[in-house]
């Protein structure tokens, strides 16, 4: 039977001395989570497929005053098992694994292909499972040192509810039919892994973001953004920084008794 970790109330949200791996780190939500982890004191490994984007993000983070020694870059596709193995084998411990990456092509019921379904599932579900399995030894080392380690899977509100067709109309901005099913599978995988790893001190949770359009998207599609905002009880879309707090919380000692849950960060979208 595992024992409860000792929690210092004045540091329950701190991640000093801990290592966090974020896939899709250069993306809209990825960048926000990276900043949150750095501000909480963690060492963060930025993962993505494009070296220039990751190098640019690292340079920007340094310009913002973040400790350059706390920022590392790992360039590879999360579907590459050999690259995953090399990366995680080099880590004496991994405190937090954030599965954020997914490859999704736009499409509709009429245009979506079996290949697009396969790509979304492969990148969003199978790759996440493979990352968890390969990272297990490093996660166990962290759990032994801190009392717990954390996996955070980035799902979506569309993993639990369908997109409302009336919002999208003929905009061409439709959430494709392969995106939600992949995220639903990731949510179920989260529950499965949480139940099977709980006794080992590895917590597995998911965050389900709601509408988080980029600022330039909001400017270019103001009417559509307004329809998204109206769909939420809070009456607005989210800012990427509003995901960072949830990501830090689920990684921290403050969440040491939370596993197998899905934290909806959606402005109340799924509440009605």
Q: Which of 121, 125, 211 is nearest to 164 (CA)?
A: 211
Give the count of beta carbons closer than 10 Å to the beta carbon of residue 148: 26
Beta-strand ranges (E) seen in 179-272 are: 202-209, 262-265
What is the 8-class DSSP label of residue 9? G
User: Of these residues, 9, 179, 192, 257, which one is catalytic?
Assistant: 179
Residues 6+ apart with CB under 8 A from 175: 158, 163, 168
Which residues sit opposite 21 in a β-bridge?
45, 97
Contact indicator for 46, 34 with CB cutoff of 8 Å: yes
Catalytic residue check, 179: yes
Contacts of 193 (CB under 8 A, 6+ apart): 129, 132, 151, 202, 204
Residue with tokens 């329950």: 12
List 186's β-bridge partners, or say none.
none
Contacts 24+ apart (CB under 8 A), 230-233: 231/164, 231/167, 231/269, 232/266, 232/267, 232/268, 232/269, 233/267, 233/268, 233/269, 233/271, 233/272
Residues designated catalytic: 179
């Amino acid at each position: 039977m595992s024992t409860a970790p000792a929690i210092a109330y004045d540091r329950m949200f701190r991640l000093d001395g801990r290592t966090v791996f974020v896939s899709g780190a250069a993306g809209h939500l990825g960048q926000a989570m990276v900043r949150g982890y750095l501000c909480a004191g963690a060492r963060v490994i930025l993962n993505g497929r494009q070296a220039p984007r990751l190098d640019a993000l690292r340079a920007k983070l340094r310009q913002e005053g973040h400790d350059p020694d706390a920022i590392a870059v790992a360039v590879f596709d999360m579907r590459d098992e050999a690259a995953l193995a090399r990366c995680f084998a080099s880590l004496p411990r991994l405190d937090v694994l954030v599965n954020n990456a997914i490859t999704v092509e736009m499409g509709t019921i009429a245009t979506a292909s079996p290949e697009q379904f396969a790509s979304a599932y492969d990148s969003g579900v199978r790759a996440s499972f493979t990352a968890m399995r390969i990272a297990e030894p490093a996660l166990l080392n962290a759990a032994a040192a801190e009392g717990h380690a954390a996996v955070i899977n980035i799902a979506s509100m569309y993993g639990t509810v369908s997109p409302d067709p009336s919002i999208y109309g003929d905009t061409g901005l439709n959430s494709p039919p392969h995106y939600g099913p992949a995220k639903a599978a990731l949510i179920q995988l989260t529950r499965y892994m949480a139940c099977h790893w709980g006794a080992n001190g590895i917590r597995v949770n998911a965050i389900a973001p709601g509408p988080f359009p980029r600022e330039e998207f909001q400017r270019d599609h103001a009417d559509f953004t307004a329809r998204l905002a109206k769909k939420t009880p809070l009456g607005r879309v989210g800012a990427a920084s509003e995901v960072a707090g949830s990501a830090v919380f689920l990684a921290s000692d403050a969440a040491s008794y939370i596993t197998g849950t899905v934290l909806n960060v959606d402005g109340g979208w799924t509440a009605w």
